[in-house]
Amino acid sequence: MFLDELNCRHCGAGLGYHHPSLTFRHADPKGADIDGELWFPCGNRPWGCNWLVAESAGTGRCFSCSLTRRQPPASDTVAWEKLADAGVAKRRLMVQLLELGLPITPFYERDGGLGFDLLSSLSENVQVMIGHANGIVTIDLAETLDARREQLRVSLGEPYRTMLGHFRHEIGHYFQNVLITDDATWDECRALFGDERASYRDALDRHYSTGAPEGWRASFISEYATMHPWEDFAECFAHYLHIRGTLATAASAGMVLHSDRAPGIVEHDIEPEAEYAHETSERMLADWAWVSLFFNRVNRAMGQRDLYPFELPPPVHEKLAFIHRLIAPYRSRPLAD
């Protein structure tokens, strides 16, 4: 419940995320002793960061903030306000990756390591393209503006567009090359998503000139996923994170599926994050079918669009199952939200 909070709502104590233990601790400006080491609030706490940094880190920035390679100049206070907003989505992503146990090697430790360029296309008329290249994820901070993001969502015909969605999609590109390390797994990946060695430029030109192929809903999770195998994998990876994260939130709230309320389901508690690592993807997706239906109906009751306006046909189930098999061997823990 504390992912976006600087202070406890009940007692007012400062909160700090200790990423090695995946827990929130007291954010003591004088340092909190955790397992024999002093941890201090991140230097970006005035801009909303609620993580802790170890005294031995040699930097005032926490692990999440240290992954930011480029950002607007400090003199650009408007862009920094947007940076603070984007930081919420970035930290939420990082918490989920850590809780899934996924390996994260920073860009400053090796070439191709993970890093973020968080820039604004509203600053000095700089053109910022959201994307990924050699471990570096670029995000346009201008999309923290609801009106701008909604305009792009409508013009591009997208049912869903959020800052967290951008982060989860682009991180999918990074992890495709991190998690697939042998020829047999690449062969399996190409059988499901297509050969990623095909020309990306040609695919991009084709997609924006002719659009998605007819009948795409039978095999793909979104129109954008049809453009190129890279995008299909990244889209499915993002949706896997959407699904796992929302199910974990439902589990932490004690959500239970009742067979007497919805015939056809098996009555049980929603699984904590760790448990799905030991289940097949179909158990997870079966839970998701009912949970997403519930949240869609809640949104409609409020006059809002569906929370999850996507269909998951059998080929997409297979793609999500592949990603589940890639991720499942890594250690998982219950999500802290």
Q: Does the residue 335 lie in any domain?
A: no
For the purposes of burial, counting CB atoms within 10 Å of the CB of 97, is it exposed (0-12), middle (13-18) or buried (19 or more)?
buried
Q: Which ranges of the chain does DSSP label H, i.e. alpha helix?
A: 63-66, 77-99, 146-155, 163-179, 183-193, 200-210, 229-252, 273-276, 281-301, 314-327
CA nearest to 234, candidates 335, 97, 131, 321: 131
Question: Is the same domain home to 9 and 128?
Answer: no
Tell me what pLDDT residue 123 has. 78
Last residue of a domain, one of 28, 63, 98: 63
Query: In this predicted structure, what is the pLDDT of residue 301?
Result: 97
Quote the pTM value: 0.93
- Strands 131-133 and 115-119 turn out to be unpaired
Q: Are residues 159 and 198 in the same domain?
A: no
The per-residue DSSP string of 22-71 comes to: TEEEE--TT-EEETTEEEEE-TTGGGT--BEEEGGGSSSS-HHHHTEEE-
84 and 3, same domain (yes or no): no
- What domain range includes position 242? 180-327
Q: Is 305 exposed, middle or buried (0-12, 13-18, 19+ CB in 10 A)?
A: exposed
pLDDT at 142: 87
Q: In 3-state terms, what secondary structure has residue 333?
A: coil
The answer to the question of residue 149 being in a domain is yes
Instruction: State how many domains the chain has.
Output: 3
Q: Are 34 and 138 contained in the same domain?
A: no
Residue that terminates a domain, selected from 100, 133, 168: 168
Q: Give the pLDDT confidence score for residue 3 in this predicted structure.
A: 82
Q: Is residue 302 part of a domain?
A: yes
Please list the pLDDT of the chain residue by residue as tens digits (337 residues): 568 888 988 888 899 999 999 999 999 999 999 999 999 999 999 999 999 999 999 899 999 999 999 998 888 888 888 888 999 999 999 999 999 999 999 999 999 999 999 999 887 677 899 999 999 999 999 888 776 787 777 777 777 889 999 999 999 999 999 999 999 999 999 999 999 999 999 999 999 899 899 999 999 999 999 999 999 999 999 999 999 999 999 988 888 888 777 666 667 788 776 678 888 899 999 999 999 999 999 999 999 999 999 999 999 999 999 999 999 888 644 433 3
